[in-house]
Structure 1
């Protein structure tokens, strides 16, 4: 066991600069710390990287001296906790809690972990707020269009195939308690991919906080959660990527403070079939990939799970409806949408304070 209470009493805090650019991480790490009474060299700043949930995670911890063995122990615990989320909510694992629930016939009080029930509860709440734009029971449609565990379709799904899949959809068939899930139709299939990565980022952020770490950034795919300051005496600075399929470049840089930031976009997660392009965002009203001009949504919120859910919902709604709801809910939201041959932006009043002073 690591004696973190003893470590805390001997810490000299420094600062670390960090920038996330799309899915590319740029970091400048200054290592300078002494923990009195320890013979093993101490690292003031630490990085933890790996793979989970079909993507990569990249975590930076600043101003927290750790020995190499302590780093290894924390890294192992990060992997363990993310693996636990996979075991709870992955639809790619037949033995996960969610997969076993999906394979069950009509069932009441199917036992699940508190984590799975928590994510389902937040999914139901966001579904209600967005008037159904966020629906975790869209799994049959996600799979039909080739964005789930199944392979890409060889031809565009027919109207009959879409109608059959939609007959298995409906969040009204799903309910939960703190430790159980229930469904009242056999074929209900729950897919938490639009919110689970955000929950995973929250899990790791809360773990780091439990160790007394006050300066960190957790990146899990496009979901990030940050706390504290960097080496330039500033908050963590996060780049919002331009909507482009051919290059990685920066649209804006924002200072998120002690918050999560999640970006959902359709400009890379798509496929072409018979001269038609299909994005991964499914419109619950049509059962087909969403057709609108919104290409990217960024949400800042204290919870990465909540930001993830809203970003997914807004991508399904389109720019006008999504912006109207974001303003009603007083959410910090930034959007990029296509207008003719160019891209334009809009954002809520709540998002404005996060821009760098020289940007807006």
Structure 2
């Protein structure tokens, strides 16, 4: 998946073959990559992206499930989260495709971005409304992989664990010393090479944490920082004062997707969505050379409960 993963177990149940389980986990992560990577021309997602319009395509259960969840978040966010952003991600130089600075070409690609151009037909079908519509699952696939690994662990009776893939984390139970899992929320850095610093630490028994921000992945264009996060509604990089959003959810897939949606919306509209849906979100907003914390009601309750 172009990233690393780590699994920690707080307490092993009897009879678990650790070597076999490690191999199962590695195979699970590889399977998600083979299904959902748009950097691999042989992946199921790449084949779907290359398909034409109008034909009902049959998808694997994992890909259909992730697209279904993505469409839900797209509707809830008014299109701020939209997996059909893929052509513009390439155009701005953040994907595997060809980048372009041509305004006319970017405008043409912008017309392909609309989650409503995907029609999902249960239990496994999807139809594109227009040729050229393509999806990227970069804002949801790692979270989905975390959930799949967690399910594998729980199926073997492992109740105390931490799973981390590319910064998306899910925990359950306790650490080996009996304490809660401690999850760090990174303070946004001045540049991508700066050493990570912790803004806040959460101690939780169960749940997932994901962070979306523009401080690690960006391009410099004419001396100006261009965020890798694009607003699907405008087709342009986000420009507001929000540095990052961290979100706690039961499932890593949804934590991943919702954090991205709130990051696109910005501190005000993002907070409105978080309150409307009861999402536990921490917004770090730029105020000159410092960051202001803004917590949703659910996140405040989470902090105060500890």
Matching of residue 131 in structure 1 with residue 75 in structure 2: no
Q: Distance in 2 between matches of 1:357 and 1:109?
A: 48
1-structure distance, mates of 2:140, 2:213: 14
- Tell me how far apart the structure 1 counterparts of residues 180 and 11 of structure 2 sit (CA, whole Å): 14
Of 240-249 and 206-215, more deviation after overlay is shown by 240-249
Over alpha carbons, which structure has the higher Rg? 1
Note the C-alpha offset of 1:65. 5.5
> Hey, what does 2:133 align to over in structure 1?
188
Q: CA deviation at 1:231?
A: 3.7
CA RMSD of aligned residues (A): 1.8
2:299 to 341, 351, 359: 351
So what's the TM-score if we normalise by structure 2? 0.94
Match of 2:44 in 1: 97
Correspondence for 1:71 among 10, 14, 18: 18
Question: What does residue range 14-163 of structure 1 map to in structure 2 within 5 Å?
Answer: 53-64=1-12, 70-150=17-97, 153=99, 157-163=101-107
Cα deviation, residue 94, structure 1: 1.0
Residue 219 (structure 2) aligned to one of 271, 288, 291: 271
Match of 2:240 in 1: 292
Decide whether the 8 Å contact of 2:56 with 2:126 is kept in 1. yes
Structure 1 residue 236: Cα displacement:
0.8
1:252, 1:204 → 2: CA distance? 26
Task: State the match for 2:201 in structure 1.
Answer: 253
- Structure 1 runs of 4+ aligned residues shifted over 4 Å read none
| SS of equivalent to 1:344 | strand
Q: How far does the alpha carbon of each residue in 1:142-177 deviate from its partner, in whole angstroms, 9 at most, with x for none?
A: 0000111136x4xx7232122111122111110222
Equivalents in 1 of 2:255, 2:13: separation in Å? 31
Instruction: List alignment gaps of at least 5 residues for structure 2.
Output: none
The whole-number CA distance in structure 2 between the counterparts of 1:216 and 1:232 is 12
User: For 2:90 and 2:27, how far apart are their aligned partners in 1?
Assistant: 28
Shift in Å, 1:285: 2.4
8 Å CA contact 1:253–1:355 kept in 2: the answer is: no
CA contact (8 A) 1:123 1:136 kept: yes
Length, aligned pairs only: 302
Bigger CA drift: 69-78 or 215-224? 69-78
Tell me if the contact between 2:13 and 2:158 (Cα under 8 Å) persists in the aligned partners: no
Deviations 1:75-118 (A, max 9, x none): 11111111111111110111111111110111433121111001
Structure 1, 217-226 or 166-175: larger mean CA deviation:
166-175
Provide TM-score, normalisation by structure 1: 0.80
Alignment equivalent of 1:208, drawn from 142, 153, 165: 153
User: Does the 8 A contact of 1:252 with 1:355 survive in 2?
Assistant: no
Match of 1:55, SS?
coil
**1:182 is paired with a residue of what secondary structure?**
strand
Deviation at 1:232, TM superposition (A): 4.2
> Would you say the 8 A contact 1:266–1:281 is kept in 2?
yes
Does residue 260 of structure 2 align to residue 312 of structure 1?
yes
Q: 275-284 or 105-114: which moved more?
A: 105-114
Q: Is the 8 A contact 1:256 1:300 kept in 2?
A: no
1:220 aligned to 2:165? yes
Q: Is the 8 A contact 1:254 1:356 kept in 2?
A: no
Distance in 2 (alpha carbons) for counterparts of 1:231 and 1:85: 29
